[in-house]
Amino acid sequence: MAIARPRTPGVPAPDSAPTAGATPARSAAPRPARRCRIRPLTTLAAGLGLAAGSLGLWSAGGSAAADTAAGLPAPDHVVVVVLENHAYSQVVGSPDAPYINDTLVAGGAQLTQSHALTHPSQPNYYALFSGSTQGIVDDSCVHVGALQAPNLASELLAAGQTWASYNEGLPQQGATDCRVDNYAQKHNPWFGFGNVPTDSANTMDAFPTDFSTLPKVSFVVPDLCDDMHDCSVGTGDSWLQSNLDAYAQWAKSNNSLLVVTFDENDGMAGNRIPTLVYGAHVTPGSSTATTYNHYDVLHTLEDLAGLDAHAGNSAGATDITGIWN
């Protein structure tokens, strides 16, 4: 039987810097019972008899058995795209974002009360990836590999699943540069962890056209223009359509999901951000007004992947519900 993980209302996560207008925490509802599914690990690398790292797709081996939370689908692939610095009202319903609204919102699901945790960018990325801001309070370059805390990638690898990131502007696979032109390391938290192989970080050019070869979970991070940080909402919307729509449409009929979220808003009270889910098992045009944050998104990603582990504050978070069919 699952055990409820209560939150104390009004008390922020212990390592999250409080932000003016931040959304109060809520009490977690009891998590539903979990069921066991046995799913074989299938990747292109395995099919060719190659090491997973040779394709920039990493697996630690081990058992393929996984628990999947009841009420959630068990997708073969989940791709998470993180965009930048815009409030919910600046994107959802905006004529500057026709792809997001006419395709992802209309054909997928939206979290109308999704919230980032703090400001500036980098702590939010670490929270989304590891369930903790890891003591980071600014956008300074981090010491590569210094952290050993559990995170989404390390949990996937420990469970024998696969993981990779695709980073626009990254000079080359595994490059640990802090800043190169429009590429910024601050939006790539995996480099801060010694338990995540650096060469699991790929350039965007490595994003496969055969989507069946994608890892179990991957993150896609556009550069500082295409993520809407330095350029317009319209620029990011066009980039998303050009680079992810083919996957999004494939996902609907191939048991896979696309998640699009933002690191933080533009500084408006409440830190409310767009978060969208699209693909198989998502009720088209659905929404949920339940309050969620980055820890809940991470908790849901962990459960969608069938992981028993929950990193950091995601252990006290809840699954996204009300959008699945």
Q: Using one digit for the tens of pLDDT, what is the confidence trace for 267-318?
A: 999 999 999 999 999 999 999 999 999 999 999 999 999 999 999 999 999 9
Tokens of 145: 């590999």
Distance CA 269, CA 256 (A): 34
pTM of the model: 0.83
Tokens of 84: 């930048």
The answer on pLDDT for 11 being more than 60 is no
Tokens of 166: 């695709």
Where along the chain do its domains lie?
Answer: 59-316
Q: Using one digit for the tens of pLDDT, what is the confidence trace for 205-217?
A: 999 999 999 999 9
Please enumerate in sequence order all residues whose Cβ is within 8 A of that of 163, keeping only pairs 6 or more positions apart, or say none: 57, 58, 59, 152, 153, 156, 157, 196, 200, 215, 216, 217, 218
Distance CA 159, CA 153 (A): 10
The answer on pLDDT for 9 being more than 80 is no
* Residue 193 bridge partners (DSSP): 147
Q: Torsion angle of alpha carbons 137, 134, 305, 55, nearest 10°? A: 90
Q: Using one digit for the tens of pLDDT, what is the confidence trace for 132-172?
A: 999 999 999 999 999 999 999 999 999 999 999 999 999 99
DSSP string, 180-230: ETTEEGGG-GGGGBTTS-GGGEEEGGGS-SSGGGS-SEEEEE--TTTTSSS
What pLDDT shows up at residue 90? 98
CB of 138 closer than 8 Å to CB of 181: no
Q: Using one digit for the tens of pLDDT, what is the confidence trace for 221-275?
A: 999 999 999 999 999 999 999 999 999 999 999 999 999 999 999 999 999 999 9
Distance CA 61, CA 73 (A): 23
CATH superfamily of 59-316: Alkaline Phosphatase, subunit A (3.40.720.10)
Distance CA 249, CA 241 (A): 11
Q: Using one digit for the tens of pLDDT, what is the confidence trace for 29-85?
A: 444 444 333 333 333 443 443 445 545 777 665 433 334 577 999 999 999 999 999
Distance CA 168, CA 206 (A): 10
Task: Find, among 163, 174, 193, the residue nearest to 77 by Cα.
Answer: 163
Task: Find, among 317, 310, 306, 312, the residue nearest to 65 by Cα.
Answer: 306
